[in-house]
Structure 1
C-alpha cells in the first residue's frame, strides 16, 4: 500500500513541522553566525588562559553575548507562530485534516471566525488569546535569561 503522510493524523503534524523547520532554519543560522562574529576571539583566548573549559566559555561568555540575537529570534519566532496559515492551508486545507491534527492557532481562529457557533466562538477566541499571551510571556522570559 501507499504511505499517505499528510493523511495520517500521527504523521501529518510532523510533516508540517519538518516543512517549517526547513523554511526557517536559515534565519537563525544567519543571526547566530553574525552574533558569534561580533564576539572577539581575544575573549575566548583570555578565558582559556584562565583555565575555563568549553562549557564554561559557552555559558559564561558566548550565551550572554548572544542574548540580543536570542531576543531577536524569540520575537521573530513568536511572530512566525501567527504566520503558519499558509503552510497548513497549502498542505492540508482550512480544516487542518486529518481530524484537525495539524491545527495551528491561526487556522483555529480562521475556523472559528468562518464556521463555528457564536457563543462558543467568543469563548474560544478569548481562550486562544489568553494562550497566545501566555506563550508570548514565556518566550519573552526566555530571551531575558
Structure 2
C-alpha cells in the first residue's frame, strides 16, 4: 500500500518530466541520425567535425563556451564564496539587506539585463563613459561590446553580475549548516576570523563548491539568452561571441538568408548533450566521491 502511494505521488512529476524532457531528448537524438528523410547514421556528425564549413564554426563556438565558463569559474564563484563568508559573519549589520540586494539580479529577465547593459556600455548614450570620467578614468573606456577581443569577456562579466547571487546563497547555506560545536572547538584552539574560514569552514563546504562548479558548467554550456539579446543571432562582432547555443539556434531555425537545417541542428544539440553528460559523469563518479569525506 505504501508503494502505491509513492507511485501515485511521483506519477505527475514523472509524466510531466517525460513529456517535456525525455521524449524531446530522444526525438533530437533520432533526428541527428537522419538526413532528407533517410537514415544516415553518423554522417551528420562526420559533416559537423570534418566539413570545414561546419567545423570552423563549431570549434569557434565551443572555444567561446569554454572561455565563458572559465570567466564564471574564476570570477563569479570566488566572489560568491567571499560574499557568503562576509554575510555569514554574525558581526555584520544589515546582512539580510545585502543578501537580498545581491540576489535580486538573478530574478531579472535576460532581455532586461541585456538591454540595460547595452545602454550602460554604449559609447554614444551610455552612462559608463561619464561615470569613468567622473573618477578620472575615462581613458580606460572602450566600446567593449563592439570589439572582437573584449565582447565575449564583457558579456561573461555581465552574466557574473547577474548570477553571483546563486553561488553566494548556496555557500551561505552551507556555512550555516556547519555545526556550532566545530566552530566553538576551533575558537577554543585560537582559530578565529579568516584563519577559521580557510582552515575549518572551507574544507567543510568543498562538496557545496563542487556542486556549484558543475552547475556553473551546465548553465554556461546551455547559455543562449544573454548572447542573443545583446549581440543577436549572429553573435557579433564577427561571431566573436558565438557559443554553442547561438550556433545551434542559427542552424536549426535559420536566420536571415541562412535556411534552417533541423538535422544538423539536432546534431549540434546532441554534441552539446554529450559534452555536458560526460563532464557531469566525471564529476559524479570521480570527484564527488572524494569530497564526501568532508561531509558530516
Contact 2:144 2:150 in 1 (8 A): yes
Q: TM-score, normalised by structure 2?
A: 0.40
User: Paired residue for 2:276?
Assistant: 132
SS of 1:6 mapped into structure 2: helix
Distance change (3 Å), C-alpha of 1:9 and 1:118 = same
Distance change (3 Å), C-alpha of 1:84 and 1:122 = closer
Q: TM-score, normalised by structure 1?
A: 0.72
State the 4+ residue runs in structure 1 displaced beyond 6 angstroms: 51-57
Distance 1:79 1:126 in 2: 14
1:5, distance to aligned residue in structure 2 (A) = 1.5
SS of 2:234 mapped into structure 1: coil
Is there any run of 5+ residues in structure 1 with no aligned partner, and where?
none
* Larger RCO, structure (CA 8 Å, separation 6 or more): 1
Q: 2:219 aligns with which of 51, 69, 80?
A: 80
1:97, distance to aligned residue in structure 2 (A) = 0.8
The Cα RMSD (Å) is 3.4
- Greater Rg, structure 1 or structure 2? 2
Q: How many residues align?
A: 143
User: Paired residue for 1:28?
Assistant: 167
Distance 2:197 2:151 in 1: 40
What does the per-residue CA deviation read over 1:64-111, in whole Å, with 9 as the maximum and x for residues that have no partner?
532453354245424422552211111100111122211222212212
User: Paired residue for 1:58?
Assistant: 198
